[in-house]
Chains A and B, each alone.
Chain A
Amino acid sequence: EVQLQQSGPELRRPGSSVKLSCKASGYSITDYLMHWVKHRPEHGLEWIGWIDPEDGETKYAQKFQSKATLTADTSSNTAYMQLSSLTSEDTATYFCARMTMMTPGWFAYWGQGTLVTVSS
């Protein structure tokens, strides 16, 4: 059974950074891209980007180019996302998600989400 287990909630000060994790089970992360999605209730869902854990290739939405850094550790079957220079606009729930193919399609599997709160 495919599962994506994300790390717990985070509270950060403005200007700091945070690193979220997404541990996959039931498959090897090198077999599929790992995507990250931002959710704020008043703004809906936003695609941040993806990483190919097999070779480390990444693709970001332009809006998140300078905000997010995606990495992966194949030895632990875990993907990571670091968010830098945090502001109140980064307060959101962040999901990792996987498709069933390598080409863009639908998100079949989702982590439970990590709530990041940015507050002084």
Chain B
Amino acid sequence: DIVLTQSPATLSVTPGESVSLSCRASQGISTSIHWYQQKSNESPRLLIKFASQSISGIPSRFSGSGSGTDFTLSINRVESEDFSVYYCQQSYSLPLTFGSGTKLEIK
């Protein structure tokens, strides 16, 4: 199984700061990584597909990059509504797997 390691586990920031969240795969997965935001008691929401492809309706402050084993989700100027948990997911091979998540919290 492909293991996705997300870091940091928790990131404390002030609104207006820009942040980068990391997702590292246990083997090369090309660009088969997708990013989600999940708020408490809600379903996950897709933010980025295939590492860097934008999603309709998602604010432009969210962007993704990377290929192979190292991937990054960047949020330019964090807003109050962005404080939640972020997960990466790989679709390179079955079983599909998710990272353990990064919690973005208010400093």
- Give chain A's interface residues, CB within 8 Å of chain B: 35, 39, 43-47, 59, 61-62, 95, 104-108, 110-113
Interface assignment of B22: CB less than 8 Å from any CB of chain A: no
Residues A44 and B99 in contact, CB atoms below 8 Å apart: yes
Taking CB atoms, residues of chain B closer than 8 Å to A107 are 34, 36, 44, 46, 89
Taking CB atoms, residues of chain B closer than 8 Å to A61 are 94-96
17 CB-based A-B contacts, threshold 8 Å: A44-B98, A44-B99, A44-B100, A44-B101, A45-B89, A47-B96, A47-B98, A59-B94, A61-B94, A95-B43, A104-B32, A104-B93, A104-B96, A106-B34, A106-B91, A107-B36, A107-B89
Taking CB atoms, residues of chain A closer than 8 Å to B100 are 43-44
Interface assignment of B97: CB less than 8 Å from any CB of chain A: yes
Interface Cβ pair total, 8 Å cutoff: 52
* A47-B43 contact, Cβ under 8 Å, with A106-B34, A107-B89: no
A103 to B36, CA, bound (A): 19
- Give chain B's interface residues, CB within 8 Å of chain A: 32, 34, 36, 38, 43-44, 46, 49-50, 87, 89, 91-101
> Secondary structure at chain A's binding surface: helix, strand, loop or mixed?
strand
* A45-B46 contact, Cβ under 8 Å, with A104-B91, A106-B34, A106-B89: no
A47 to B99, CA, bound (A): 11
Residues B91 and A45 in contact, CB atoms below 8 Å apart: no
A107 to B88, CA, bound (A): 11
In the complex, how many angstroms separate the beta carbon of B89 from the nearest chain A beta carbon?
Answer: 7
In the complex, how many angstroms separate the beta carbon of A37 from the nearest chain B beta carbon?
Answer: 8
